[in-house]
Amino acid sequence: MNELSATSCACGAVTVKISGEPRTTMLCACKDCQKATGTGHSALALFSDDHIEIEGETKSFSVTADSGATVDRKFCPNCGTPIFGISGRVPMHKLLPVSMLGEDAQNYQPRAMIFNRSHYDWDIVDPELPKFEKYKEK
């Protein structure tokens, strides 16, 4: 995905333009992602800030994640669509829900699941996917 790809929130008030490839893709089963998605995990793509353009107003709230890192979650104030997150662990990057990749989302398979320690058995994922109890060690 080297060309610019664009997508928007459910109501169209916030648009996201993406160029280049993500640094990584992952599933996260931490308790905070479960609350944010209403399911057993989130599907995320980590992009460098210079590969993302956000247009439109967002609202945010910050949480302290299971790891102790601060995560700032941005969402559309009109429809509530999650737009991106910023983790204190990864400066100069944004965590985009894979759904924000629009039609290109199908091209991005997760490379691992983090925070597998809080993953629910009913939330079925590929058994071959590498799993880490917390953050993947570098």
Query: Can you give the CATH number for the domain in which 98 is found?
Result: 2.170.150.70
Tell me, yes or no, whether 51 lies in a domain: yes
Tell me, yes or no, whether 29 lies in a domain: yes
Residue 2 has pLDDT above 60, yes or no: no
Tell me, yes or no, whether 75 lies in a domain: yes
Total Cβ atoms within 10 A of residue 33: 27
Tell me, yes or no, whether 132 lies in a domain: no
| Residues forming a β-bridge with 27 | 43, 113
**Tally of domains in the chain:** 1
For position 136, what pLDDT does the model report?
62
14 neighbors 108 (Cβ within 8 angstroms): no
Mean pLDDT, residues 119-129? 95
Query: 84 lies in which domain range?
Result: 5-118
Mean pLDDT, residues 63-82? 88
Which pTM was predicted?
0.88
Tell me, yes or no, whether 88 lies in a domain: yes
Tell me, yes or no, whether 138 lies in a domain: no
Tell me, yes or no, whether 11 lies in a domain: yes
Tell me, yes or no, whether 33 lies in a domain: yes
Place of tokens 């107003």: 57
Residues 6+ positions from 23 with CB-CB distance below 8 Å: 46, 47, 48, 93
